[in-house]
Structure 1
Amino acid sequence: MRIAFATGNANKLSELQQILNGVLEVDAISLDSTLELGCIRDIAVAKSKEAFKIIGRPVLTDDTSLTFSAFGGELPGWLLFFIVRALY
């Protein structure tokens, strides 16, 4: 059985393949997704809906967020991607 995984991140793809250990085959789908603003849940839901609309079949997505209670539990949130990219 095959599943679609919407990611442009080779490390995330490799990690999922290791977890699945050959039980399922993974089709990596790289999407130019529009930037959604909001909480991580809203962003993840929007990304999943967009991916499904484009490929027309069930798809896994993965979003990561880091927040600090000192910043109201919301920062840097989805901005983490840009912070990490700027550091490397």
Structure 2
Amino acid sequence: MAAVKASGLVLSRPVTFVTSNAKKLEEVRTILGESIPFQSLKLDVPELQGEPEDISREKARLAAIEVGGPVLVEDTCLCFNALKGLPGPYM
């Protein structure tokens, strides 16, 4: 497989953006443009609980195992300072 150079990095294959949301995919395509080669894949990963960073890290780890390569995941949280960060990932 040929290596692809993207923004100073050498990738041996495209990054897989794991989403079933067409709007998220459209947004990522707009942001990344052609700078990083990627493909999208609808993949069911568990809805995890915990801190936002831990949730994203574990989703990426599980998706990478399933895909067998590099992945990009996205998770949304809504945090209010007056509520000490709640509802956070539980919205």
TM-score by length of 1: 0.79
CA apart distance, 1:63: 1.1
Match of 1:5 in 2: 17
Match of 1:79 in 2: 90
Q: As a proportion of its length, which structure holds more helix?
A: 1
Structure 2 residue ranges without an equivalent (≥5):
5-13
Q: Secondary structure at the match of 2:16?
A: strand
Q: 2:48 matched to 1:39?
A: no
CA apart distance, 1:44: 0.3
Match of 2:9 in 1: none
CA apart distance, 1:76: 1.1
Aligned residues: 79
CA apart distance, 1:62: 1.0
Structure 1 residue ranges without an equivalent (≥5):
81-88
Cα RMSD over matched residues?
1.3
CA distance in 2, matches of 1:61, 1:68: 23
1:43-73 deviation digits (Å, cap 9, x = unpaired):
1011000000101101011112111111112
Q: Secondary structure at the match of 2:25?
A: helix
Q: Secondary structure at the match of 1:57?
A: coil
Q: 2:30 matched to 1:18?
A: yes
Q: Give the fraction of aligned pairs with identical amino acids, expressed as a percent.
A: 37
Match of 1:54 in 2: 66
CA distance in 2, matches of 1:42, 1:24: 25
